[in-house]
Chains A and B, each alone.
Chain A
Amino acid sequence: GENVEQHPSTLSVQEGDSAVIKCTYSDSASNYFPWYKQELGKRPQLIIDIRSNVGEKKDQRIAVTLNKTAKHFSLHITETQPEDSAVYFCAAYSSASKIIFGSGTRLSIRP
């Protein structure tokens, strides 16, 4: 079945440095790749997404890249801030019309 793998499971970076989270997907027909941020006790919130006809998308300090040939996509956060600390989930919208989530990355920003 469809599968999304996400790495690393935990990531600690110095405030101001960059953070990169990587995901791979199995369903070659997937065409939409959202990223969610989940703070403790709260619901997941969409932070950025990318569609299969685009290779890169940027929104201020956040960027996402997609390599359809290799079936992987990445989230890049630059100039990290304490409020970036959270769990981040990648996801893929599969050909079966459902969103499959990665296992999550717990990002910690060290002051």
Chain B
Amino acid sequence: SAVISQKPSRDICQRGTSLTIQCQVDSQVTMMFWYRQQPGQSLTLIATANQGSEATYESGFVIDKFPISRPNLTFSTLTVSNMSPEDSSIYLCSAFLNTEAFFGQGTRLTVV
């Protein structure tokens, strides 16, 4: 199994500012993913982050709004840029290990 540490666990941010969320995996993994989960809703994939290449974004998500870094096989960051109240959500990172997906504990973001 894999252990994923995600931080911060929660934050309250002013609109117009940016927040960077970090994920650290205790194993080397090729693929990491970032999801958004609105309260009571399913997980929506934002992007796939592979080490050594640009992240691949899903429809409706763009790099300028959600820049992602993947500097090595155990770490990734997601930045939520120029935040608005509509960005308030839970953000989860995920990593594949032997095709099983493990999740970080999530970041609960509130934009005021």
B101, A99: Cβ atoms under 8 Å?
yes
The B interface is mostly helix, strand or loop, or mixed, namely strand
Nearest neighbor of B94 in chain A, beta-carbon distance: A99
B106, A101: Cβ atoms under 8 Å?
no
- B-facing residues in A23-60 (Cβ within 8 Å): 32, 34, 42-44, 46, 49
With an 8 Å Cβ cutoff, the count of chain B residues facing the other chain is 19
Known: A34-B100, A34-B101. A100 touches B106 (CB 8 A): no
Nearest neighbor of A42 in chain B, beta-carbon distance: B105
> Interface size bucket, A side?
10 to 19
Known: A97-B31, A98-B48. A46 touches B100 (CB 8 A): yes
Known: A32-B99, A98-B33, A99-B101. A43 touches B92 (CB 8 A): yes
Q: How far is the CA of A49 from the CA of B106 in the complex (A)?
A: 22
**Among B31, B43, B102, residue most surrounded by chain A Cβ atoms (within 10 Å):** B43
Q: How far is the CA of A101 from the CA of B43 in the complex (A)?
A: 6
- A-facing residues in B28-46 (Cβ within 8 Å): 31, 33, 41-45
Nearest neighbor of B105 in chain A, beta-carbon distance: A43
Q: Could you mark each residue 47-78 of chain A with 1 if its beta carbon is under 8 Å from any beta carbon of chain B, else 0?
A: 00100000000000000000000000000000
A104, B99: Cβ atoms under 8 Å?
no
A49: B residues at CB distance < 8 A: 100
Shortest C-beta distance, B90 to chain A (Å), equals: 9
- A104's contact among B41, B92, B94, by CB below 8 Å, is which? B41
Q: How far is the CA of A34 from the CA of B102 in the complex (A)?
A: 11
Listed in ascending order, the chain B residues whose CB lies under 8 Å from chain A are 31, 33, 41-45, 48, 59, 92, 94, 99-106
Listed in ascending order, the chain A residues whose CB lies under 8 Å from chain B are 1, 32, 34, 42-44, 46, 49, 89, 91, 93, 97-104
The 3 nearest A-B residue pairs measured at CB: A43-B103, A101-B43, A103-B42
